[in-house]
Amino acid sequence: MKFVAVTSCPTGIAHTYMAAEALAQAAKAAGHEMTVETQGAAGSAPLDAARIAEADAVVFAADVDVRDRERFAGKPTVTAGVKAAINDGAGLIAQAVKAAEEGAAPVAPSGPELASKVDGSAGFGTRLRQWLMTGVSYMIPFVAAGGILIALSFLIGGPEVAAKVGGGDFQGVTYPGIENVSDLMSQAGIAGVLFKIGSLAFEMLVPILSGFIAFGMADRPGIAPGIVGGLLATATGAGFLGGLVSGLLAGAVTLGLKKLKVPRGVAGVMPVVVIPLVSTLVVGFLMVVVVGEPIAAAQTGLSNWLSGLSGGSAWVLGALLGLMMAFDMGGPVNKVAYTFGLAALASGNYVIMAAVMAAGMTPPLGLALATLVRRNRFTPAERQAGQAGWLLGLSFITEGAIPFAAGDPFRIIPSLMVGSATTGALVAAFGATSPAPHGGIWVVGLIGNPLLFLLAVAIGTLVTCGCVLLAKSIGRDRAPAAATPETSTQAVAA
């Protein structure tokens, strides 16, 4: 017989593909032909209409809604969870044979095109991680595209390209914007165009993260307040941690509004007008009034505190700056450290800038190395982010670590802080200097004591990698080893 199947697990990363492999192998062992469509975090390659038409039966191995179920109307179906497919693929194939012999069963309507991949029956801790990973999965393409374009702009035009292009806040420095394309090309060339495009993609990191965390919690109605909350987190300087808060806030507020019992006449406008209006207002107010002011005050206090420490031991200050650079990866604490480095640069102290830059390079580098050393500790999506992490880390784009930190903050962030503190302390102790405010490996020719600078980055990368792997080995199950060969392309697409 000929069968088709669709597999989809709550996170859309591992079990989706494990179920697909189990069904394909069980069908082959029973002498049948099976074609599987995986609806995972990497998206899906829809089954060919001709393949569906000639199928004797359909197997839905899914713990979330299967998209476009109407394609299979009129076909005998077997419905089960992904664990049933993994543990008893042969049993599901036997059920498919029986269903084909008995005739067609009705096909239920499909679910939404966007997939939250959250198991509503799981415990709160599991659902929280799935909410965060939903935001991360939609954010990763922005990290990869924006980060690599910015890195290429530095490679072509040097670190000064940021000052030439401007028009945004990059690593805590606000530049005046170029008004039109002709000015952009004449002042910065193709490097400026790349930087402008990459910076715009990077500006969307926190809003997309926040919006799709809220989507994971409250479905489509959570997207609008989540993205607005993320934009406000960026505008108020709350950064990626503020984005996590705004996403969870937006999801919680939207969920509460969806549960309200209202008159039938009002119910029709609730999802279109009332829920997005009220949730956006509430989340926006909280982000501006409650989150923004404390963060601004904390930034001022940190700057003053660092100024009081600048006369102390260089390695102690370097370690503190390293801790701050890795704490929120482009957020307010990171920006305080970077701005302090710029102030030191203006006063002729190039050591602090070198410590800040090196400490900002090791988080994505250490995570990239960790995904190679222990692949089975990371999901396919994380391994893909690790591949981009090499270039992002070498280019001093600390935000390359955000996908990992957002998905597992309590293990990843402390590990990154240890590695960055080690790096900052070593750079300061070695007396390496950097007159360039940005650029990473691409400005190594300008760095004083470059070999010692690179040595400090290498040591910090190893320390970060070791701490991450140690943290992931404590109190958490290993991620499934790898996707199958035919699904690895889909993981890359994510």
Task: Tell me the catalytic residues.
Answer: 9
- The whole-angstrom separation of Cα 247 and Cα 218 is 10
- The whole-angstrom separation of Cα 256 and Cα 239 is 26
Give the burial class of 156: count Cβ atoms within 10 A of its Cβ; 0-12 exposed, 13-18 middle, 19 or more buried.
middle
Tokens 């965060």 sit at which residue?
A: 132
Beta strands 57-62 and 33-38, pairing class: unpaired
Phi, psi (rounded to 5 degrees) for 20? -60, -45
- The whole-angstrom separation of Cα 358 and Cα 451 is 12
What the block records as the tokens of 344 is 């030191």
Contacts of 171 by beta carbon, 8 Å cutoff, 6+ apart: 330, 334, 335, 338, 360, 396, 437, 438
Phi, psi (rounded to 5 degrees) for 170? -120, 115
Among residues 382, 475, 331, the alpha carbon closest in space to that of 132 is found at 382
Contacts of 483 by beta carbon, 8 Å cutoff, 6+ apart: 14, 17, 380, 490, 491
What the block records as the tokens of 368 is 């990239």
Length of the chain: 494
- Rg (C-alpha) for the chain, rounded Å, is 25
- The whole-angstrom separation of Cα 421 and Cα 355 is 9
Phi, psi (rounded to 5 degrees) for 31? 85, 20
Q: Where are the alpha helices (DSSP H) in 6-123?
A: 15-29, 49-54, 82-87, 89-102
- The whole-angstrom separation of Cα 393 and Cα 395 is 5
Q: Where are the alpha helices (DSSP H) in 30-123?
A: 49-54, 82-87, 89-102
Among residues 19, 3, 10, 94, the alpha carbon closest in space to that of 55 is found at 3
